[in-house]
Amino acid sequence: MSIEQDVKSRFSAWFSEEDWKRFKAVSELYYQRAVYLMKDDINFFISTSNKDSRLLARNIQKRLDIGIATELLIKSYYLKDGYMINLVKEKNKNMRNFPFLQTEDKEKFQINNTFTLNDLIENLGKTKEFKEIDIIKEGFRIAKVFRNKEGHVVTKNHLYESTDYDKIENALVAFYKEAFLEELSIRFSFEHGEDGRWILNKI
C-alpha cells in the first residue's frame, strides 16, 4: 500500500443518513468563519514585499472556507434525504442513474472516494424539484471555483466582485429553505465597515 493509500484509508467510511447532522455542523463552522473573519484575525506577512498582506490572506481564507463549507453542506443534504455520497465504482457507466439511494448494494460503491462537488451540484435537480434551482446552482458553482482556485494557486491580488458573494448568499438562503426548512440570513463581511451576519432559524 502506498503512503497516499494508507493515509486515505484513514478517512474511508460508508456514509449514511445518520451522518448528515455532523456534515452540516462542520459546514456551518466554515461558513461562520467566512462570515466573521477579519483582517485583524490574520497574522500573515509576505516578507518579499514588506507589505501587510493580511487582507489578501483573509480573503483567501474566506473563499476557501466558503468552498469547503458548500461541499459539506450539499453532502449533508444528500445524506439527509437518503442518497449515497460514496462514489459509484463505474462512474461513466452509471451516472445516468444518479442519485443513488442508500439502500443500494454497497459493493457498487467505493469506500475511499465520494462524488465530486461538481457532480453533486449539477445533479441536485434530480433529487427533488427545487423552485430556485438556477439561483442555487449559480451560487454553488462560484463557491466551487473559489475552493478549486484558492486551493491550487496564490495570486498577488484577486479582483473583488461583490456580486459573486451576493449570488452565494442567495443560493444559501434558497438552499437552506428548500433542503433543510430553515431560514438563513447571511452576509459575508468583505468590504470596509461591513458587518458579518449569520442567523439561522427553523421555518
Residue range 11-61, pLDDT digits in tens? 989 999 999 999 999 999 999 999 999 988 888 766 655 456 888 889 999
pLDDT in tens, 80-129: 999 999 999 988 778 888 999 999 999 999 999 999 999 999 999 999 99
Mean pLDDT, residues 173-191: 96
Map out the domains of the chain as residue ranges: 14-202
Residue found under cell 449533508: 76
The CA distance from 151 to 54, in Å, is 18
Q: Given this model, what pLDDT does residue 47 score?
A: 60
pLDDT bin (cut points 50, 70, 90) of residue 132 is very high
DSSP string, the chain: --HHHHHHHTT-----GGGHHHHHHHHHHHHHHHHH--GGG---EETTTTEE-HHHHHHHHHHHHHHHHHHHHHHHHHHHTTB--EEESSHHHHGGG-S-BTTS-GGGEEEEEE--HHHHHHTGGGTS--TTHHHHHHHHHHHHHHHHHHTT---S-----HHHHHHHHHHHHHHIIIII-EEEEEE---STTPPPEEEEEE-
pLDDT in tens, 183-198: 999 999 988 888 999 9
Q: Given this model, what pLDDT does residue 5 score?
A: 85
Query: Smallest Cα–Cα separation from 127: which of 101, 109, 105?
Result: 101
Q: Given this model, what pLDDT does residue 156 score?
A: 78
pLDDT in tens, 60-83: 999 999 999 999 999 999 999 999
Q: Given this model, what pLDDT does residue 157 score?
A: 75
How are beta strands 197-202 and 45-46 bridged, if at all? unpaired
